[in-house]
Amino acid sequence: MANAFGIIFANIHDDALPQLTQNRTLGAVPMGGRYRLIDFILSNMVNSGISSVGVIARNNYHSLVHHLGSGKEWDLSRKFGGLTIFPPYATAGAGLYHGRLEALKTVLSYIVRAREEYAVLADSNVILNIDLAKVLEYHEENDADVTCVYQNVDLKEKNAKDRVLYEIDGEGRIQAVLADPRTSEGNVNNSLGIWVMKKDLLVRIIDDAQNTGKQSLERDVLGQRCQDWKILGYGFDGFVEQVRSVPGYYRAGMALLNADVRRELFPRERPIYTKVHDESPVFYAPEAKASNSLIANGCRIEGTVENSILGRGVYVAKGAVVRNSLLMQGVTVAEGSTVDCAIIDKGSYVSPNRNLSGAPTYPIVVEKGSRV
């Protein structure tokens, strides 16, 4: 059992996927056929021995609440701790929160009451399988004030927009925090949006932020305190995708077709948990063709599916072809239609003999419940 509780920000990057987050928080966006984005970090916490997790939602949180329920599927339906979902808590004179610090302010009493000594904070847009117990161990062993999880990446283009980068010295200490840098390139340390600190320090940070009007945890707090606090970087070199844009979401989805990625992301000893839906097994008709694809239960395949990920209950009719696409729950592709490089949101219907085609770098997005 870890001596830490978890806080997950369910909405922070909503604007990254405007078409997919109109009716849901980013954390509730489907991924990998049967998961939601939040399942990854939430399961990571549970598998690392964290048994008390608060999820902070801001708006459009119905599907998130529906998905998480009592937390039973993550083994978080507990007498002590367990899962707590925080819908917006607006006090007089305060509207919805913006940055993480304001979000944390709304759950201050939860944090103060927590019995654990450490807090693990995380965004919900990150797809990975990390042993957070090791991060906690590293944090304690090195007597750090804050430990930030990052990955060293090679930025191909001179644009790190929407990323936060850390400058780290030879001793692993973060010397500078670059939020939204537009000029970085080459080898950089990219923040994964996962932080560990003592609960007491977190409470101090929240109090201070309120008094001084700070909004951004990374830019306004960590970035300003590099010299007087011991802020360490913890490098993670496994598979990671952070969802920051539509093409990025598409790339993350398609990455799961790689067997090595699946082995790393879904190891037997650290499963990714999700809500169970009791769908029947996939039915493949005599004329079905399916290759290099992930196909969730409840699907009915009469046509052709290639290089795609199909969510629960998708119907691919006779003569229909689905290629290089991500189809969410309950999508129907009617007879004779072709779908290529598309992201089709929940419950949409592609009429017979249509041709829907995008490009890998710019996939078409069909919004939830559309008729094409």
Q: Contact residues for another protein (CB under 8 A)? A: 32-35, 72-73, 256-257, 259, 262, 266, 268, 271-274, 276, 278-298, 305, 309-310
Q: Which of 319, 277, 6, 21 is nearest to 132 (CA)?
A: 6
Are residues 261 and 252 in contact, defined by beta-carbon separation less than 8 angstroms? no
Shortest reach from residue 269's CB to another protein, in Å: 9
Give the C-alpha separation, 139 to 201, whole Å: 14
Shortest reach from residue 31's CB to another protein, in Å: 10
Q: Which of 233, 243, 283, 19 is nearest to 125 (CA)?
A: 243
CB closer to another protein, 1 vs 276:
276
Residue with tokens 């056929």: 33
Are residues 7 and 100 in contact, defined by beta-carbon separation less than 8 angstroms? no
In what side-by-side order are the strands of the sheet with 342-344? 309-310, 326-327, 342-344, 364-366
φ/ψ of residue 40, rounded to 5: -65, -55
Shortest reach from residue 181's CB to another protein, in Å: 35
CB closer to another protein, 71 vs 233:
71
Shortest reach from residue 253's CB to another protein, in Å: 12
CB closer to another protein, 29 vs 178:
29
Amino acid at 43: S
CB closer to another protein, 280 vs 355:
280
Shortest reach from residue 171's CB to another protein, in Å: 39
CB closer to another protein, 202 vs 314:
314
φ/ψ of residue 296, rounded to 5: -80, 160
CB closer to another protein, 327 vs 339:
327
Give the C-alpha separation, 154 to 331, whole Å: 37
Q: Which of 114, 117, 127 is nearest to 80 (CA)?
A: 114
CB closer to another protein, 128 vs 135:
128
Amino acid at 273: Y
